[in-house]
Amino acid sequence: MLVNIEAERVRKQMTKEMFAKEMGITLKTYYNWVNGVTDIPSTKLQKMAKFFGVKMEYLLEESR
Protein backbone atom coordinates (compact mmCIF):
# COMPACT_ATOMS: atom_id res chain seq x y z
CA MET A 1 0.00 0.00 0.00
CA LEU A 2 1.26 3.45 -0.88
CA VAL A 3 0.69 5.06 2.52
CA ASN A 4 2.45 8.34 1.71
CA ILE A 5 -0.15 9.23 -0.89
CA GLU A 6 -2.85 8.61 1.72
CA ALA A 7 -0.92 10.60 4.34
CA GLU A 8 -0.47 13.58 2.03
CA ARG A 9 -4.13 13.48 1.00
CA VAL A 10 -5.17 13.58 4.66
CA ARG A 11 -2.64 16.35 5.38
CA LYS A 12 -4.35 18.41 2.66
CA GLN A 13 -7.68 17.64 4.37
CA MET A 14 -9.12 16.10 1.24
CA THR A 15 -11.51 13.20 0.95
CA LYS A 16 -10.61 10.37 -1.41
CA GLU A 17 -13.35 11.60 -3.70
CA MET A 18 -12.02 15.18 -3.69
CA PHE A 19 -8.50 13.99 -4.45
CA ALA A 20 -9.63 11.71 -7.27
CA LYS A 21 -11.49 14.61 -8.84
CA GLU A 22 -8.45 16.88 -8.46
CA MET A 23 -6.31 14.28 -10.25
CA GLY A 24 -8.92 13.69 -12.95
CA ILE A 25 -9.42 10.02 -12.12
CA THR A 26 -12.16 7.78 -10.78
CA LEU A 27 -12.32 6.72 -7.16
CA LYS A 28 -11.74 3.12 -8.26
CA THR A 29 -8.53 4.16 -10.03
CA TYR A 30 -7.37 5.91 -6.84
CA TYR A 31 -7.99 2.75 -4.79
CA ASN A 32 -6.16 0.64 -7.37
CA TRP A 33 -3.16 2.96 -7.25
CA VAL A 34 -2.78 3.18 -3.46
CA ASN A 35 -3.35 -0.57 -3.07
CA GLY A 36 -0.75 -1.39 -5.72
CA VAL A 37 -3.24 -3.09 -8.04
CA THR A 38 -2.25 -0.87 -10.98
CA ASP A 39 0.74 1.35 -11.61
CA ILE A 40 0.40 5.12 -11.51
CA PRO A 41 1.15 6.72 -14.90
CA SER A 42 4.19 8.98 -14.72
CA THR A 43 2.19 12.04 -15.76
CA LYS A 44 -0.24 11.54 -12.86
CA LEU A 45 2.60 10.82 -10.46
CA GLN A 46 4.28 14.08 -11.46
CA LYS A 47 1.00 15.95 -11.01
CA MET A 48 0.54 14.39 -7.56
CA ALA A 49 4.08 15.22 -6.46
CA LYS A 50 3.70 18.82 -7.57
CA PHE A 51 0.29 19.10 -5.92
CA PHE A 52 1.63 17.78 -2.60
CA GLY A 53 5.02 19.53 -2.88
CA VAL A 54 6.97 16.29 -2.45
CA LYS A 55 9.24 14.05 -4.52
CA MET A 56 7.76 11.29 -6.64
CA GLU A 57 9.97 8.71 -4.94
CA TYR A 58 8.42 9.59 -1.58
CA LEU A 59 4.94 8.91 -2.93
CA LEU A 60 5.97 5.50 -4.23
CA GLU A 61 7.35 4.20 -0.91
CA GLU A 62 5.34 1.20 0.24
CA SER A 63 4.31 0.33 3.78
CA ARG A 64 6.17 -2.52 5.38
3-class SS of residue 22 = helix
Determine the Cα–Cα distance for residues 15 and 59; give it in Å rounded to an integer: 17
pLDDT tens-digit series, residues 43-55: 999 999 999 999 9
pTM of the entire structure? 0.90
- Where are the chain's structural domains? 3-59
Q: Please give the pLDDT value at position 22.
A: 97
3-class SS of residue 37 = coil
Q: Which CATH number fits domain 3-59: 3.40.50.11900, 1.10.260.40, 3.60.15.10, 3.40.47.10?
A: 1.10.260.40
Q: Please give the pLDDT value at position 62.
A: 82
